[in-house]
């Protein structure tokens, strides 16, 4: 019995700083996802928890679907061309919401924003992630070829994902304006860079 009690207390301690993403969804303003009402969002939560397909008709006449829902993370397909990822975190005792929205056409382009627990937008300084950070020259490739392939990546469009298992934010590059042959060659130099949510510095 004592061993079970100790394990239970350890679990409580590990989760003391976490807060549920459903709490954030329950209080979400309509301005965050204009195509969805709060009732739409809460219906998706209910469907997901009932192990049903969490799809609703949105305000634009299309369909939106909650793809994933865990304790502090959700992923919502807002439309055929837009995905939202949201994670609730506790940083230095303060509850925060991290939201990534990705428009997928013609190529993926993401934006990231932070809010407090009341959905007030926070001003943060985003880590500077450059093309050099998101490319890597293979050992078998000469420098001239590598630089030429780097120059293919224009305009620079970044895809961002929230890692639902950690507090990492993952960056990679999109390539909207090159043909399939060049895209295949350029893929050989692409890499991913991960940063911590805590690397986004709050501007007070």
What pLDDT is recorded for position 204?
A: 76
Mean pLDDT on 89-94: 90
Mean pLDDT on 187-191: 96
9 vs 60: CA distance, rounded Å: 47
Closest by CA position to 135, among listed 194, 201, 188, 190: 190
Closest by CA position to 175, among listed 153, 150, 204: 153
18 vs 90: CA distance, rounded Å: 6
150 vs 131: CA distance, rounded Å: 8
Q: Say how far residue 94 (Cα) sits from the centre of its chain.
A: 20
41 vs 30: CA distance, rounded Å: 10
Asked if the model's pLDDT at residue 97 lies above 70, the reply is yes
Asked if the model's pLDDT at residue 172 lies above 60, the reply is yes
Q: What is the pLDDT of residues 3-44, one digit of tens each?
A: 333 333 333 333 444 679 999 999 999 999 999 999 999 999
Mean pLDDT score of the chain:
90
Q: What is the pLDDT of residues 41-59, one digit of tens each?
A: 999 999 999 999 999 999 9
Task: Please classify residue 36 by burial: count the beta carbons closer than 10 Å to its beta carbon, then call 0-12 exposed, 13-18 middle and 19+ buried.
Answer: buried
The pLDDT confidence band at residue 176, using thresholds 50, 70 and 90, is confident
User: How many residues in total does the chain contain?
Assistant: 204
What pLDDT is recorded for position 18?
A: 60
* Strand residues in the chain grouped as ranges (E): 55-57, 63-69, 73-79, 82-91, 94-103, 109-116, 121-122, 124-125, 157-162, 168-174, 193-196, 201-202
Read off the pTM: 0.87
92: left (phi over 0), alpha (psi -120 to 50) or beta: left
Q: What is the pLDDT of residues 119-170, one digit of tens each?
A: 999 999 999 999 999 999 999 999 999 999 999 898 999 999 999 999 899 9
More confident residue, 5 or 102: 102
What pLDDT is recorded for position 11?
A: 39
């Amino acid at each position: 019995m004592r061993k079970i009690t100790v394990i239970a207390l350890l679990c409580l301690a590990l989760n003391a700083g976490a807060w549920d993403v459903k709490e954030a969804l329950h209080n979400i303003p309509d301005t965050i996802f204009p195509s969805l009402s709060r009732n739409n969002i809460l219906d998706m939560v209910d469907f997901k928890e009932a192990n049903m397909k969490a799809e609703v008709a949105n305000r634009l006449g299309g369909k939106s679907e909650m793809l994933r829902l865990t304790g502090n993370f959700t992923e919502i397909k807002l439309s055929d061309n837009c995905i939202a990822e949201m994670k609730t975190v506790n940083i230095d005792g303060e509850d925060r919401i991290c939201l990534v929205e990705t428009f997928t056409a013609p190529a993926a382009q993401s934006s990231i924003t932070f809010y407090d627990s009341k959905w007030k937008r926070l001003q943060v300084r985003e880590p500077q992630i450059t093309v050099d950070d998101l490319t890597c020259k293979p050992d078998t490739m000469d420098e001239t070829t590598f630089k030429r392939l780097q120059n293919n990546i224009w305009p620079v469009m970044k895809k961002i994902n929230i890692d639902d298992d950690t507090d990492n934010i993952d960056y990679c590059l999109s390539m909207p304006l090159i043909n399939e042959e060049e895209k295949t060659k350029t893929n050989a130099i692409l890499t991913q860079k991960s940063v911590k949510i805590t690397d986004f510095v709050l501007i007070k």
